[in-house]
Amino acid sequence: MRFCVILLLVIIPICGYTQLNIPDKGAIISMSISDINTGNDIVSLNSQTRLIPASLTKIITTATALELLGPEYTFKTQIIGKGEIVDGQLKGDIVVIAGGDPTLGSRYFDQTEPELLFKEIIEWLRIEGIHSIRGRILVKSADIGYSSPRLWEDIGNYYGVYPQAFNWRDNTVTVTLASEDVGSVCNIVSVKPEIFPYQYDCKVESASHSKDSAYVYGLPEIKKWWIEGSIPSNRSSFKIKAAMPDTKLVFVNELTQYLTENNIVIQQVNFGEDEIAKSRIVFDCKSPKLSEIIKVVNHKSHNLFADVLLLSLAKEYKDQYSWDIGVQIIRDFWKDKIDFESNFRLRDGSGLTPKNLVTTDGMVHLLMWMKNNSSYYDVFKSSLAIGGQTGTLKSVFKNPELRNKVFGKSGSMEGVLGYCGYFINKSGHYEAFCVIANNYLIKTKEVRKQMDETLTNYFLEY
């Protein structure tokens, strides 16, 4: 036995050479480390205690999506021209049939830039000789219900954007604020892209600090959203990000403006379905491959992409976008591979809800299964951040002796911090690890420092 653990409040001695010492008596800590070759537990501290995982949830979502959909899987959005073309005029509509693609217009991929999609539509119109549209631009998509465990305070902000069957520009807008002296109310300089008829009521105050403490509140059913909190004082341009209230509306307005600027006249005539029955596919717009999407999910901790993956599992297997069905599909996949029922409770795919629960033992066994059994393990591993170098592990495990030896992901929210992944030990064997702390009231940077030092010392020893 090479690892000794004694629990005293939240102090975890590790065979005398270091300790995880979090000075907060009310905190809960769990840690598991296992040898993947042998399956033997090396560390087991509160390993069966269910804790909030935050973004470690994305490890479960991406692993399952990769196994069930495959690394080559792509989302498809159809662009259709409906109606007759007479003397250079399309007497009908341009219709976008949404397919759940989370990457349309996303800033994370060069090939998904909005202008590239718009240029393809313009190119088709010119090939067909169309210089005007006597009709509308429409987006058709399935409705996706709210995830009931999602916190209200998250929904209006960029990190808590709601997944849709039609997603656009990461479902995010940029709001530029201007601040004056401390205590004064800030002004809105611009909102990009435009969200009219939605609007923001700015209640943000100027403060003496230097951080973004502004938060956005609203739902698509509410036309007037509001922004509260504070930003640094005396800034002429301070950008914050907010959730996009209506993705379809923003897309239609942007495409309409683009076509108009390129001399395509749109007359906004409302035709009935029987009047424009004839249709032709303009083109199919495909997303980047799933292997590329999950890399963004795990490197950038992208909540929207992760939640769309869970919903897409429901759509692929049960033909409906459903949070509950997506969760059930994940449970069904893992139930004969690991003890999923005892170790996991999922309510979303991203980890935004605090109702998700995992054990560190369960996370380690899932990671072990992926290493030992998955045909796509190499793809999965490449989606993970590298300790001290990339993604959410860039600021930890920076010791030069650990270079290219630690791969994984972090997860955090208020009072929650965790790390999990793989470590290559001195014998060249892989070990799976997971550590999670919950319910602490001290600063997260103190907890992070202790976790980093404890795991780094262990990795260097073995």
Q: Note the helical H segments in 83-230.
A: 114-127, 152-155
**Does residue 155 register a pLDDT over 60?**
yes
CA distance 50 to 275: 58
What's residue 273's pLDDT? Answer: 60
pLDDT band at 133 (very low <50, low <70, confident <90, very high): very high
Q: What is the mean pLDDT of residues 66-71?
A: 98
Least confident of 111-125, 162-176, 273-287, 288-302: 273-287
Residue 274, pLDDT score: 57
Global confidence as pTM: 0.93
pLDDT tier at 269 (50, 70, 90 boundaries)? confident
Query: Which one, of 368, 310, 366, 323, lies nearest residue 343 by Cα?
Result: 366
pLDDT band with cut points at 50, 70 and 90 for residue 275 = low
Q: What is the DSSP letter of 404?
A: T
Name the more confident of 344 and 8.
344
The Cα 52–Cα 437 span in angstroms is: 9
Query: Residue 448 pLDDT > 80, yes or no?
Result: yes
Element (H, E) at 317: helix 303-318
Query: Strand (E) positions, 267-332?
Result: 279-286
What pLDDT sits at residue 277? 61
The domains of the chain are located at: 11-72+290-461, 74-288
Average pLDDT, the chain: 92
Cβ–Cβ < 8 Å for 458, 45: no
Q: Which amino acid does the sequence have at 235?
A: R
> Could you tell me which CATH number the domain at 11-72+290-461 has?
3.40.710.10
Residue 406, strand partner residues: 423
Better pLDDT: 270 or 373: 373
Beta-bridge partners for 409 = 420
> What's the pLDDT score for residue 13?
47
pLDDT of 3 reads: 40
Name the architecture of domain 74-288.
3-Layer(bba) Sandwich (3.50)
Query: What pLDDT, on the 0 to 100 scale, is given for residue 40?
Result: 93
